[in-house]
Amino acid sequence: MAPPTTVILPTIQQTDVVEQLAAQLAPADELLVVCDSEHDPVARKAASLPETARLIVAGEPEGCSGKANAIATAMEAARHDRLVWTDDDFYHPPDWLAGLQADYDRQGPTTELPFFVGQDLLSKLLEPSYVMGATLGLGLVGVPWGGAVIFERDDIDEPAFLDDLRRTLSDDGLLGAYLDVKPVKRVRRVDVGGTVSESLERNTRFVQIVQYFSPYPKLTVPLAALCFMCFLLFPLVSLVVSTVGMAVLYRYFGLRRWSFLLVYPAVIIQFPLLLYGLHRPFVWGGRRYVWPERFEVIVED
């Protein structure tokens, strides 16, 4: 039997995910629903939360992202040593928590993988890039995805981690610097975007997360430039090879989407978007951030 577990869910909305998770808890488990303010929709409807859920109001972030602040506050409030992080933007099937528990008992810290599905023109075009960078990339490097990761307090230097978390932007990017995880090939569909502007902001944030937390940050731009030039100089070969390769990748992860056909234009457009996003401010969760250093975050009004 798995030990008591704390599930941490940062959200400002009262979504179906709260009920999905609450239904999966064992009697000793707890679900922490973490928001920013008492004025957030989920806080205003706190009385309707499941009995097994506990509302935590993290407050406004200072020197870190709202997500990082929420995670840090929840970890301090958590009653148990086994921790699960998750997000409110994908469906959690009835066996989701049990699957992660079994994974940890078998192999220790574990993460699932995301498949980001675009909801607007730009994010749809970039779907193959998301598969290469997130689905495949996280799986190859062994970096945790904050939407589905399980670990225990003793797996990390928790005091140092929480101190760093409150002065950076990416919660799972930082966790990857503290925690060795093993990915499992369970892919969760996460809808992203909605407008081109939202997708551009998201892409900028992802570019900077890679810049500050990639194991090989100095290789990111040169490799992207080399790939970009090969695609321009050898278009037919690049088109055929990349499309076939992406089709194989989609099949391997069980992704039934036509978007693998967009890999050639996705690679072409990703390089200028990479350069565009390296040092720009961006909006995330209603806040505007400037992120000049790994451990320096400016939250603008």
pLDDT at 15 over 80: yes
State the greatest distance between any 2 C-alpha atoms of the chain, in Å, as a whole number.
Answer: 61
Angle between helices 235-252 and 220-233 (to 10 degrees): 120
27: its two tokens? 């009697």
Question: Which band of pLDDT confidence, cut at 50, 70 and 90, is reported for residue 92?
Answer: very high
| Domains recognised in the chain with CATH numbers | 5-300 (3.90.550)
E strands, 72-135, are 82-86, 110-118
Q: What DSSP letter does each residue of 112-123 carry, written as one string?
A: EEEEEEESSHHH
pLDDT tens-digit readout, 191-235: 999 999 999 999 999 999 999 998 777 778 888 899 999 999 999
Report pLDDT for 223.
86
pLDDT at 31 over 90: yes
- Paired residues of 283 in beta bridges: 288
Contact status, residue 82 vs residue 7, Cβ threshold 8 Å? no
CA-CA distance, 46 to 131, in Å (whole number)?
Answer: 36
Q: Which of 265, 295, 290 is nearest to 278 (CA)?
A: 290
Contact status, residue 11 vs residue 42, Cβ threshold 8 Å? yes
Amino acid at 5: T
Residue 36 DSSP SS3 = coil
209: its two tokens? 């997360």
9 φ/ψ angles, rounded to the nearest 5 degrees: -125, 100
- Paired residues of 9 in beta bridges: 33
10 φ/ψ angles, rounded to the nearest 5 degrees: -75, 125
pLDDT tens-digit readout, 129-179: 999 999 998 988 889 999 999 999 999 999 999 999 999 999 999 999 999
CA-CA distance, 76 to 159, in Å (whole number)?
Answer: 10
DSSP label of 144: P
Q: Which of 78, 75, 85, 82 is nearest to 149 (CA)?
A: 85
pLDDT tens-digit readout, 255-290: 999 999 999 999 999 999 999 999 899 999 999 999
